[in-house]
Every structure is written in C-alpha cells, then in structure tokens.
Amino acid sequence: MTNLTGKDPAATRAPARLGWLPRGSTLPTDVWVQRHRAILVVLWLHVPGLFGFGLVGNQSLSHSLGEAAVVAIFATAATVLRPHRLLSTVLAALGLFTCSAVLVHLSGGFIEMHFHYFVMVGVVTLYQDWRPFIIAIGYVVLQHGLAGALAPASVYNHQTAIEHPWQWAGVHGLFVLAMSSAGVASWKLNESLLQAAADREDKLAEAQEVAMLGSWEWDVSTETVTWSHEMFRLFGTTPEELTPSYDAFFSYVHPDDKDELALDVHRAVDEGAPYARDFRVLTEDGLLRWLHGRGEVITWEAGQTRLLTGTVQDVTERKRLEDELAHQAFHDALTNLANQALFRNRVEHATTRAARRESPLAVLFLDLDNFKTVNDSLGHTVGDELLVAVAQRLQRHVRGADTAARLGGDEFAVLLDDIEAEGDATRLAERLILALSAPFSSGGREVVVGVSIGIAFHDPALSSDQLLRNADLAMYRAKAAGKGRAQVFEPEMHTAALERLDMESDLRRALGRGELSVQYQPIVAVGVGVISSVEALVRWRHPVRGLLSPVTFIPLAEETGLIHELGRQVLFEACLQARRWQLDHPSVPGLTR
C-alpha cells in the first residue's frame, strides 16, 4: 500500500507557514504522475488549437505557426523532463499561461480572452505546489506588464490599460490571484484530508508492525496485488525489490504448505469461502517463518469475485511456544527422553502397524540395580545426574527409529519397531547391560550401577498395555534371578503373577479370618534327653489349597508388608500358649519359652 505522504525528495515547501494556507508539495508521486500526464495532454492540445484559432482570426500562416510553436516548445520540454518533477511542473505551468497569453494576443487583446488565465490557474492549482503557482502568478503580471508596454494592443483593448500597462498588469495579477482562492481552498482541504489519511495509515502501519501483521488486496479481474509495508517486511524484502503478485506471494510459501494454501485461495475465489490457515514461508534472508493467513472476498460483480482481501501475521513465536509445550508434555523434564505418555502412544501405534505388516516388535523394560542405594547415600542431586548419564548412554545404543523413554524413577524402556528378528532385541539388551554396568562419574565420585531388563515381543492377540505388562513381568523375573541380566517374557510368568496376586489377596483375608495357626516343634537337650524349649512355626490352612508351608507365603508377606501383622499374630499366639502350659504344668521346671 502506497504511503499517502510520498513526494519528490527534492521538493521543498513554500515559505508560506500560515495555518490557513496549504503547505504545498504534499502530492504523492503516483498521484502527481497521473495529474501531470493529463495536464500535459491539455497543454499539447493547445498547440493545434491555437494554430487553428490564429488562422480563423485572419492571422497569417507563419504568425499562427510561430505562436503555436512557442507553446509546443514548453510542451516538449515539460514532456522530456518528466523525470525531474519540479522542473517539468514549472515548464508545464508556464506553458499553460503562455497559451493564455497567445490566445489574448491572437484575439487582439479581447478582454473576454483573459478568462483563459483563470481557467489555467485552476489547472495549475491541481499540482498543489506553491512553486509553479507563484511562478505562474508572477508570469501573468510580468507578461501583462512587458507586453502591455511593448505592444499594448496585443494585451489590452481599452485605452486606460494601454496607457498604464503595469498598473493593469497588477490588476490582472490580483484578479487571477483572487480567482484562484477557491482552488487554493480546495487545495488546503485536499491536503487536510490527505494528511488525515496519511496519519491513519501511519498508525495502522505502526500497529501492524507491533502486531507483525501485514495486509493485502488482490483485484482478481486485473490481477493487481497490493501489499502493506509489513507484508514486505514479513517476507524479508522491500517494495523496491519486489512487485507484489499472486506468484510472488507463493514463491515464498514452503513447498509442503503451498498446495493446501493455494486450494484455500482458489476456493475463496470460486466459491467465496473465507479461509484461515497457518503456513510456513522462506524469507529472502533465509529464515523459516510461520504465518497465519486469512482471506475473504469483499467485492462481487456479476457473480464473480472482484476483490479479495486478507492478512498474514507472524506466529513463529507462538508456534515455538506450542512446540515447546508439546515437547514438555511428552518428554521427561530431567533426561529429555520420551515420557510414559508418549511411549505408550508410540507402542500403541507400533502394535497397530506390526499387526498389519506382520513384522517383529519388541519392548525392553529396564530397571536400574542398586540405584536406591546411590540415591539415599549420595543424595538426590547425584541421583539425578546419574539418571541423565544413564539416559545419554541409552540413547547412544538405540537406533534413530527406536524410542527410548524414562517411565519414572529409575525405570526406562525402549521400543524396537520393525526389527528383523527377535535376536535383535536380546542382543541390544546385552549391549545395554554391558554399557550401563560401566562406572559413572557423578558428584565427584565413581558410581557403579547395573540394570535388569525384561523383554517382551509383540503378539497380535496382545494389546499395547499387555505388551508393556509382559516386559515389566520379565524385568522382575530378571531381578529375582540375580539382577544385571535380561529375561524374555514367557507365558508362565503371567500365570505366576496372577497366582501371586491371588495369594496376596487370600493372605490378607487369612489374617483377618484367623486361618493362620501356630505349631510347636520341641527342642530336646540331647545330653539329658528332656525338652529344653519349643520353636513356634506358623502354618496356613488355606480353604482351597489345604495346609501351606511357610515357604509358600512368608516371602510374599515380607514383600507386601503383611509380615508385620503375621508376626504380631504368631507372637501373640505363642505367648498365650506358653502361659497355658505354665498354668497346666506348674511342676515342670524351665517351662518358660
């Protein structure tokens, strides 16, 4: 969009500074070009017109031709010097008033012909420039004075003016000046409107720059495209370097976004549907910038789109923040690995693809050995540094297409998508065990941890959650087998896990129902052959499985914390039984245990 205050850089304002007078020289260059072109046409039309007027007025051919030639000289000079705004304007103004002088001269000083001056003043006022205007007024006075003194009959047709040419030259100058007041007033009003529009455009341009928002218009019928200054800035170019057009706009659009955006624009043109879309552009300075574009049809003619307008706004920072938030939502803040949510999502998609392609898929579940010892003894800061170092080693050993994740605490996982054979997963597990068993330097100390890994392979009958569960079960089996090793999931592991879950539930109920009993095993002093003490042994009479040995449920009670209640009940029952024995057999010595 053209700046409404644009003008010839060489122009200077006229000395008039009164507020009620126009400033002058404020006409935009493109508007001046259009007006100057029309005024030159008027000037050139006077050449044959004056020549014909001279012939009709019984002037000789040579005389008529000579008078018309003077005007032609001014017209030629003003046309040739059009690149020089001020000089061409002054020459055109002088040429117009020369037309008036020639017309008066050819008419024999006929008084009505002086009205031509008044018309030309109105034409010159269209330039809205004090310099040609003042020069024109001076020209009128000077021409009337000199010509009136040298050849008064060619200027005046009454005796008073002939006798006092300079006095009447001044009178004519004042008349011309007075007649031009209406044009000057219109000139002033036009300047005020132009300035107000310029101020609004400046404020709009400033607002667009702050908002990084550019606007455009596309006249579909003429293929004319207009951009605001901010549009050029967004594309890293200038109005001098680029002419706005449909093709110029799309030359900046990223190839991956071009087709969809073009479809939106064509749908708007064909159907009148507004559009809004985010797209990328490659600027002249090599930057990748995200823009949000909007467009709508605002003018229709005969059912056809005439004018399309819209805006584009720089949303690069918004996109960056969105990407950052999305990254934070799906990545572990400490290690920058995928978090549990992202890992589960990728496992779900991978199992869907694997089912279609019938390709192997594996999940590795990793749990660090002895991490709790390091964390408790050296502190959480050292523990966090160790986790970051583990994540870095983990990433170095997986493929780019694989997903490594931290599930929480010291638990990690790896998704192996589209492997060639199941052996690829076991070999990776072996490499990871070897890599993670090497010492770490953390907190100024050398720290050694290990890792236990569970491996589960995809089965079409399994869901993604079941696949993760199987890898977890295999990892616990690896830990139970001695840590620092890998274990492939086997179906009986799930069966054992279910049995363990059932056993835990039954044990909780048994403690509440009193299903546990205490049996006593005597300890005999061999030397004397008498019972010296007894050992209290707990037994569980399961309602379904019958009498269970402590080996079956004591480890489970220790793992689940039920051992505390179990121990309390056994101790209570043993103490109670010892007291009974003391009461029933008071004569038996040493019955104290």
DSSP string, 27-94: --HHHHHHHHHHHHHHHHHHHHHHHHHHHHTT--HHHHHHHHHHHHHHHHHHHHTTTSHHHHHHHHHH
Both tokens assigned to 396:
């170095």
**CA-wise closest residue to 348 among 455, 466, 473:** 466
Asked whether 43 and 99 are in contact (CB, 8 A), the reply is yes
Considering only CA atoms, which of 451, 356, 345, 450 is closest in space to residue 403?
345
Q: When comparing pLDDT for 468 and 23, which is higher?
A: 468
- pLDDT tens digits, residue range 420-445? 888 899 999 999 999 999 999 876 78
Least confident of 102-116, 324-338, 529-543, 579-593: 579-593
The pLDDT-based confidence of 14 (bands split at 50, 70, 90) is: very low
Apex 325 CA angle, 319 and 329, nearest 5: 145
Pairing relation of β-strands 450-457 and 486-488? parallel
Give the range among 109-118, 150-159, 293-302, 312-321 with minimum mean pLDDT: 150-159
In the chain, % of residues over pLDDT 70: 81
Q: How far apart are CA 563 and CA 554, in angstroms?
A: 7
Q: Rounded to the nearest 5°, which phi and psi values hold at 10?
A: -80, -10
pLDDT band at residue 182 under the 50/70/90 scheme: low
Q: Is it the case that residue 388 has pLDDT exceeding 90? A: yes
Average pLDDT, the chain: 82
Q: What is the DSSP string of 137-184?
A: HHHHHHHHHHHHHH-GGGT--SHHHHH-HHHHHHHHHHHHHHHTHHHH
The amino acid present at 510, given as its one-letter code, is: A
The amino acid that residue 164 corresponds to is H
Q: Are 157 and 216 in contact (CB under 8 A)?
A: no
pLDDT of residue 154: 58
Contact 479, 372 (CB under 8 A): no
For residue range 232-246, list pLDDT tens digits in order.
Answer: 988 889 988 999 999
The model's pLDDT over 502-529, given as tens digits with 9 standing for 90+, comes to: 788 888 888 888 888 888 888 887 877 7
| Cβ atoms within 10 Å of 398's Cβ, excluding its own | 17
Contacts 24+ apart (CB under 8 A), 556-565: 556/500, 556/503, 556/504, 556/507, 557/507, 560/504, 560/507, 562/504, 562/507, 562/508, 562/511, 565/511
Q: How confident is the model over 534-540, as a mean pLDDT?
A: 87
Distance separating alpha carbons of residues 312 and 310, to the nearest angstrom: 7
Q: Give Cα 6 distance to the centre of its chain.
A: 33
Three-class SS of residue 562?
Answer: coil
Q: Is the pLDDT of residue 205 over 60?
A: no
Q: Is pLDDT at 22 greater than 60 in this prediction?
A: no
Are 252 and 283 spatial neighbours (Cβ–Cβ below 8 Å)? yes
Beta bridge partners of 536: 520
Nearest partner of 234 among 116, 316, 333, judged by Cα: 316
* Sheet containing 530-542: order of strands: 516-525, 530-542, 546-548
Distance (Å, rounded) from C-alpha 165 to C-alpha 472? 117
How far apart (Å, rounded) are the C-alpha atoms in residues 20 and 184? Answer: 10
Cβ atoms of 419 and 425 closer than 8 Å:
yes
Residue scoring higher pLDDT (480 or 302): 480
pLDDT recorded at residue 432 = 95
pLDDT of residue 49: 92
Distance CA 537, CA 150 (A): 149
Which residue(s) pair with 403 in the sheet? 415
- For residues 192 and 283, the answer to whether their CB atoms sit within 8 Å is no
Edge-to-edge order in the sheet of strand 275-282 = 224-227, 213-219, 304-314, 288-301, 275-282
Q: What is the mean pLDDT of residues 222-236?
A: 88
- HSE (side-chain half, CA atoms, 13 Å) at 65: 3
Name residue 518's beta-bridge partners.
538
Distance CA 432, CA 445 (A): 22
Rounded Cα distance between 568 and 516, Å, is 12
Question: Which residues, 6 or more positions from 558, have their beta carbon under 8 angstroms from its beta carbon?
Answer: none
In the DSSP assignment, the letter for residue 370 is: S
Q: Is the pTM of this model over 0.95?
A: no
Place of tokens 């001056």: 117
The mean per-residue pLDDT over the stretch 116-128 comes to 80
